[in-house]
Copies of this chain bind each other. A is one copy, B any other.
Amino acid sequence: MSVGRETRLSAWIERFAAHFAEEGIPLIGGRILGYLLVCQPVERTAAELSQELEASSGSISTNLKFLVNSGLVTKRTRRGRQAAEYRINEKAWSDFVQRKLHAIASVQTLTDDGMRLLSGDPERAMRLKTVDHLYGWLSAEIPALWERRPASPK
C-alpha cells in the first residue's frame, strides 16, 4: 500500500528545510518556505502554519518576520480580516540566490586589501595572489552570468 501524496510532500518539506538549515536558515523557517511553495490554497495565516507545521506561534511569528524581511514571503492584510495571509514570493528567489553568489565573490575585497598590504613584497604575496586571482575572476564573471539569465517562463 502506497503512501499518500500529502505524506510524501511532508517528507519533501522536511528535506527542503534540512537543506536550508545547513545554510543557516532556522528549521522552522525552512519548513515555512517549503510548505508555502506547495500548499493549496497558496495563502496561509500564521495560525494555520503553526498548526500545520506543529510549531509554536512564537516561532512562526519570528520566522515569518525574517522571511518577509528577506523578501521570500509576502504578507497581505485585508480589511475585515484580523488574520494576515502569507504566501511565497517565488519571484524573489533569484535575488536570494544572487545574494548568495555575491557573498562568495565578496571575498575579493578581502584578498584585494591583503594584496595592497603586501605590495612591497611580491615574493611574500604569491600565495595570496593565487587566491586573489580566483576571486577576481569570479567577481567579474558572476554579474556577467546573471546578465544572461533568462526571464522565468510564465
| Residues B97 and A127 in contact, CB atoms below 8 Å apart | no
| Residues B37 and A134 in contact, CB atoms below 8 Å apart | no
| Residues B131 and A93 in contact, CB atoms below 8 Å apart | yes
Instruction: Report the interface size for chain A: residues with CB under 8 A from the other chain.
Output: 49
With an 8 A cutoff between CB atoms, is A118 at the interface? Answer: yes
User: Which residues from chain B contact A5 at a C-beta distance below 8 Å?
Assistant: 117
CB distance from A121 to the nearest CB of B (A): 8
Known: A40-B124, A118-B38, A127-B90. A113 touches B12 (CB 8 A): yes
User: Which residues from chain B contact A150 at a C-beta distance below 8 Å?
Assistant: 137
| Distance between Cα atoms of A51 and B118 in the complex (Å) | 23
Closest 6 CB pairs of A and B: A90-B130, A90-B127, A93-B131, A37-B128, A130-B152, A37-B127
